[in-house]
Structure 1
Amino acid sequence: MLARRAIRTRTTRCSTYSGARCLSSVAVLPDTGIQTFRERAFAPGTPALLPRKSFEGLPAVQKWFFEDSSRLALNRSYLSRYGSAVVPVEISNNEQFSRTEQSLSFFLECVNASSSSFDTRPNRYFSAYVPNARAIKRTKRSNNFFSASTLTAPTARTYLAQAPIADLPQGLRDDVPTPKLVLEAGKGDVYDSSIWLGEAPTYTPLHRDPNPNLFVQLAGTKVVRLFRPDVGRSIFAKVQESIGASASATMRGEEMMRGAEKKALEEEVWSDNDANEFRTATWEAELSAGDGLFIPKGWWHSVKGVGVGMTGSVNWWFR
């Protein structure tokens, strides 16, 4: 009977993050039942939010994060047990961007160094970007956390992005068990899955996935903007023309994360300028810890971590 309840209709609202720009809110399903999900979201290929806090019971929500002086932080004492695990880390430094494989302990060190008190020991992460750099304490008046011969403004940021759950140690895999919704709504198995950890603000540029996607927020807040396949293709084509490029929409690389393409994509997706021709075709969802969003196959989307402190997400792609 629950499956027959009407889905909460998609509404148009002026988002906190969109200024005067009115966006279409993603509808919230009335319950977490498999039949409801299949009929209202999966089968028609329509974005949908699961009822709020549907996934707050995932062990990672409680085990991986904690409140530290009103900021959400990583539980380093727990995660460091798995410090030898190799994970993909994105490092941004001004207009430079690189994606590398590092140990989880390296990533934890990076996060700690960006918010800790002065440490006399050289830090591997900061030394790679500022010779002989060490971490210093952030203050309310200053966001500086580099210390070398002279104080250097912070530029480098790390993001543990798209780390396959299958590659993680068993203990961490147990903290993010595959939801029943993913196992039963599709063909019964998972195409792939990923972990995302980083201090806000974080950013994932406009792209599309080859499979349907369940995106779950573990900690912090993220805002997702989505576009139908035809609208997303139009945005992508417009950006490519504006920068004089001809990249393939199906083969995306690091060019999305730096330079002219990154700036142009972000402007088209996140600008609140009334002249933006795609503003009426923009869908938006805001996710907090325990919230889940279904993103249909082919729908273009961009994700921003907002606020302060740590953000964490996990996603599963349906087969």
Structure 2
Amino acid sequence: MLVGRAAVSTVFSRCRAYSTKHIPRPVPVLPDASLETFRRDAFEPATPVLLPRQTFSQLPAIKKWFSSEPDEVVTLNRSYLARFGSIIVPLEISNDGKFARLEQSLSFFLECVNASSSTYQVQPSRYFNAYVPGARAIKRTTKSNDFFSAATITPPTARVYLAQAPINDLPQALKDDLPVPEIVMKAGKGDVYDSSIWIGQAPTYTPLHRDPNPNLFVQLAGTKVVRLFRPNEGKAIFAKVQETIGGSASATMRGEEMMQGAEKTALEGEVWDDEIGSNRVGWEARLSRGDALFIPQGWWHSIKGTGDGMTGSVNWWFR
């Protein structure tokens, strides 16, 4: 347990003094989830922390949006979410190294998730041919109504990720499932800069980047691992990658280049391959349902959804 700002600072100073080159250090955990503790030990000193485990386990979205039993794979509660199927959400689709962003209905996303967990496809053309980059054709035999790929009968290779969908764009009922935490409303300037949800089937991946505002990241379902770097260390990693690939991308304005090709591969290696010979010093946090991570302004971070089944997250940016 940590006691006060001094204890948190001590943990980080020890990490700097004794850390090996490549193994990330664990993010400290606050002793309690009170506003006073959070403001003193995390928000004001701009220090990454985990709130006590399962602090947000009672968020309505956790039980309403996801269906899971102990020791079972997490699935979406499609019957509940389908009520809001007409809303438009942003999607990221990746397939065999190719990437595309688009906006589609929530119903479309639910169909994709269902198809990605099934071997046979009923209407593959609805998203394979029209929306999935690099999709392979699906054929039907004369002996069966089942669809399958030209090679072997396998689930689709495409990954569809509902990424960074603003909560304010959701119907009121879904907004009510994600009430703004008190620490977000009161630790900063009294309101929320922005917020978003992230839902997808593991594995999911968000490349190394930084946010212009402090961030409270809460896990709703599944497991995610977050690796973090101080502003100067993250900037150095980014600069090294640009030099390695001969790129000239801006660290501030990030686009689709970080989701595919040479930059994605190089960034992922620098952040997640502990055998790469760099002098980086990073921290790591593993989040399960109800866990929350505070990411200070300017800290670089990359996130991976691990395991099987669905992962879901929500984040609020402080003003």
Q: How big is the shift at 1:126?
A: 2.8
SS in 1 for 2:268: helix
Gaps of 5+ in 1: 14-19, 135-144
Which residue does 1:27 correspond to in 2?
28
1:36 aligns with 2:37: yes
1:181 aligns with 2:187: no
Which residue does 2:18 correspond to in 1?
none
| Distance change in 2, residues 1:244/1:209 (3 Å) | same
Gaps of 5+ in 2: 16-20, 141-145
Q: How does 1:264-283 map to 2 (within 5 A)?
A: 264-273=266-275, 275-278=277-280, 281-283=281-283
1:5–1:30 CA contact under 8 A, matched in 2:
no
Distance 2:81 2:35 in 1: 33
Distance 1:146 1:211 in 2: 47
Which residue does 2:68 correspond to in 1?
67
1:292 aligns with 2:292: yes
Which residue does 2:311 correspond to in 1?
311
Distance 1:261 1:224 in 2: 19
Distance 2:127 2:158 in 1: 9
SS in 1 for 2:212: coil
1:77 aligns with 2:60: no
Distance 1:92 1:146 in 2: 21
| Distance change in 2, residues 1:146/1:50 (3 Å) | farther
Distance 2:124 2:264 in 1: 32
Distance 1:310 1:89 in 2: 15
Residues 256-306 of structure 1: per-residue CA shift (max 9 Å, x gap): 00000000000000001062321xx11000000000000000000000001
1:110–1:158 CA contact under 8 A, matched in 2:
yes
| Distance change in 2, residues 1:251/1:274 (3 Å) | closer
SS in 2 for 1:266: helix
Letter of the 1:288 counterpart = S
Which residue does 1:111 correspond to in 2?
113
| Distance change in 2, residues 1:248/1:213 (3 Å) | same
Letter of the 1:165 counterpart = I
1:123–1:133 CA contact under 8 A, matched in 2:
no
Residues 241-263 of structure 1: per-residue CA shift (max 9 Å, x gap): 00001111000000000000000
SS in 2 for 1:70: coil
Residues 100-149 of structure 1: per-residue CA shift (max 9 Å, x gap): 00000000000000113535444512343233468xxxxxxxxxx97144
Which residue does 2:57 correspond to in 1?
56
1:91–1:157 CA contact under 8 A, matched in 2:
yes
Which residue does 1:137 correspond to in 2?
none
Which residue does 1:90 correspond to in 2?
92
2:82–2:107 CA contact under 8 A, matched in 1:
yes
Distance 2:122 2:292 in 1: 42
> Kindly, what percent of the aligned residue pairs are identical?
65
Report the structure, 1 or 2, having the larger helix content: 2
Letter of the 2:274 counterpart = D
Distance 1:156 1:118 in 2: 14
1:10–1:26 CA contact under 8 A, matched in 2:
no
Distance 1:253 1:212 in 2: 21
1:250 aligns with 2:245: no
